[in-house]
Amino acid sequence: MCGIIGLLIKPESKRDRLGEWVTPMMECMGDRGPDSAGLAVFVPVGDGPLRRFSLFCGQPGFDWQELGQAFQRDTACQGDLSWIENHGRLISSIAPRSLEEWLSREFPSVHLLSTGRSIEVYKDMGHPAEIARRYGFADIAASHCVGHTRMATESAVSPAHAHPFTAGQDFCLVHNGSLSNPWSLRRRLEKRGVDFETDNDTEAACRFLEWRMREGESLEDALKAAFIQLDGFYTLLMATAEKLVLVRDAFACKPAVVAETEDYVAVSSEFRSLAHLPGIRSAELFEPVPEEIYSWSL
Amino acid sequence: MESVALESIDLQKLSVRQLNQFLHHEIGTQSLSRVEILNPKGLHNIAVGLDAPIRVDVRGHGGYFLGGMNRQARIVVHGNVGWSVAENMMSGEVRVKGFASQCAGASAHGGLLFIEGSASSRCGISLKGGDIVVGGHVGHMSAFMAQAGHLVVCGDAGAGLGDSLYEAVIYVRGRIHSLGADAREEPMAEEDYATVGQLLNRTGLDYSPRDFKRVASAKTLYHWNVDADQQY
């Protein structure tokens, strides 16, 4: 069992409320997934060469300042680094590949969680309510986000195994369910040069979709291929810089409920985590049907 | 006539456990026959395991298992419900004014479950003698392995209706997306019209029983068929 949540706020004037609205959603879904949690939010860094990089280091008392100084010293790139607990945020014009190489050489204990013009990913072990407090989710302002609360069933509990999973740039995915063919999918992708970071089943789905998109398909077309190629149970919630996308497997074994008002689209595993949202009494509520692609753009 | 006391219980102030303990243990010691539950907020297990002839009104949306194992009580939900509303109901009535999620009325042995809106997949799964009336549509795999009782669907039925049915009977007014293994459409008999008419009457729905189709088990799965080679 896991919990998934997502929120897209329609009017720009209300996007500073995202953290305040989504944090109780995550805390409530802590009942479905108490061992780890994660949240991906989308905040554009603007036009130009800058990208947003989310970093994670599990070492207690890790010296982020030292990493920032080393980055300035070793690379010719401008970088703006801030941090909170285990999580570092770097905004820089460095090429993603160069940053990855530099990190694995100089700071192998630091993981690159996400790369893109907008995406920022937080994930860690612990109860979701505690993680939300640790990283100050309630204060986040953004257009949209997806989150996950995990109860691990098929691979280890670690920050790397927590969702959201990312692949490529500005793409992430959270999953409730279990896949039965992640290893055959993975072997096929590895032959095509796709690298994996964990042994988690969800990572296979995430990298499969991102690989199809890199080959030129839309996310929607990639999902149509996934309906044929992914075997198992899944409710998948995905986000790009522009949209939220939701699908359920052919049997719809894993729950999902959607609430839409003129202010927001909210997705959750269970209605009770949406009950606090403003205007929920008059929201259009529905349960997504199997193998239908639901997409909401900014 | 006896006076009817109305007690309001606000789930903003009390836990679901406190509510259920009140409904299990205080009913009968008081002259209480109506209870109103405020702020259900999609919480799970509201009003489960009741065993008293009381009326319960839930003012808002309920979560999973609402009215589960109900005996005698009449529960009305003024909103939607999550998974498995009235699962394993023994008697009484559960009425949902809105929509119901998956597995509505699962394994119900008796009583009446009436969903005014639509119900999601697996409605009436493993039904064991209860009656379910759905004003709208039902999702896929409804009445899967249903053993006894009736499922009346006023709208359409999703894929795999009545898969592996036993003796329960399904009546559908709208379109059937597809029938499950061993389910078949059969002609309506006079007793079918009477059953549908009586259930529609109890729910206050104004449809003609003549508009319904009967789906029941072809009973080909009742005995092992060695020639089927696992192909059904």
Read off the pLDDT band of B224 (50, 70, 90).
Answer: confident
- Tell me the two tokens of residue A166: 């990312």
Q: What is the pTM of this model?
A: 0.92
- Closest residue on chain B to A256 (Cα): B101
Query: Nearest CA to CA, how far is B42 from chain A (Å)?
Result: 4
**Between chains, do B61 and A287 touch, taking CB under 8 Å as contact?**
no
Active site residue A206: no
Per CB-CB distance under 8 Å, the chain B contacts of A275 are 41-42, 61
pLDDT digits (tens, 9 = 90+) for A11-49: 999 999 999 999 999 999 999 999 999 999 999 998 889
pLDDT at residue number A1: 84
Per CB-CB distance under 8 Å, the chain A contacts of B83 are 255
- Residue A275 in contact with partner chain B when CB distance is under 8 A: yes
Q: Per residue, what are the HEC states of A184-213?
A: HHHHHHHHCCCCCCCCCHHHHHHHHHHHHH
Read off the pLDDT band of B226 (50, 70, 90).
Answer: confident
**Between chains, do A255 and B140 touch, taking CB under 8 Å as contact?**
no
**Pairwise CA distance, residues A215 & A212, whole Å:** 5
The CATH number corresponding to A2-39+138-297 among 3.30.230.10, 3.60.20.10, 3.50.50.60, 3.40.640.10 equals 3.60.20.10
ipTM for the predicted complex? 0.86
Q: Does domain A45-117 have CATH number 3.40.630?
A: no
- Residue A257 in contact with partner chain B when CB distance is under 8 A: yes
pLDDT above 80 for A254: yes
pLDDT above 90 for B104: yes
Instruction: Tell me the CB-side half-sphere exposure of residue A41, using CA atoms within 13 A.
Output: 22
A24 and A268 Cβ atoms separated by less than 8 Å: no
**Between chains, do A275 and B41 touch, taking CB under 8 Å as contact?**
yes
**Between chains, do A287 and B43 touch, taking CB under 8 Å as contact?**
no
Q: Domains plus CATH for chain B?
A: 5-219 (2.160.20.60)
Per CB-CB distance under 8 Å, the chain B contacts of A281 are 60
pLDDT at residue number B5: 64
pLDDT digits (tens, 9 = 90+) for B146-172: 999 999 999 999 999 999 999 999 999
**Pairwise CA distance, residues A265 & A262, whole Å:** 8
pLDDT digits (tens, 9 = 90+) for A169-218: 999 999 999 999 999 999 999 999 999 999 999 999 999 999 999 999 99
Read off the pLDDT band of B4 (50, 70, 90).
Answer: low
**Residues of chain B contacting A, Cβ within 8 Å:** 41-44, 60-61, 63-64, 80, 82-83, 99, 101-102, 120-121, 139-141
As a whole number, mean pLDDT of residues B21-43 equals: 87
Strand-pair category, A284-286 with A232-240 = unpaired
Tell which residue, B44, B82, B40, has the closest CA to residue B57.
B40
- Residue A76 in contact with partner chain B when CB distance is under 8 A: no
As a whole number, mean pLDDT of residues A57-63 equals: 92
What are the domain boundaries of chain A? 2-39+138-297, 45-117
Per CB-CB distance under 8 Å, the chain A contacts of B121 are 251-252, 290
pLDDT above 90 for B30: no
Read off the pLDDT band of A52 (50, 70, 90).
Answer: very high
**Averaged pLDDT score across all residues of chain A:** 95
pLDDT above 60 for B2: no
pLDDT above 60 for B3: no
- Residue A292 in contact with partner chain B when CB distance is under 8 A: no
Other Cβ atoms closer than 10 A to A64? 20
As a whole number, mean pLDDT of residues A156-167 equals: 93
DSSP A225-239: HHHHH--EEEEEEEE
**Between chains, do A255 and B101 touch, taking CB under 8 Å as contact?**
yes
pLDDT at residue number B223: 83
Per CB-CB distance under 8 Å, the chain A contacts of B80 are 271, 285
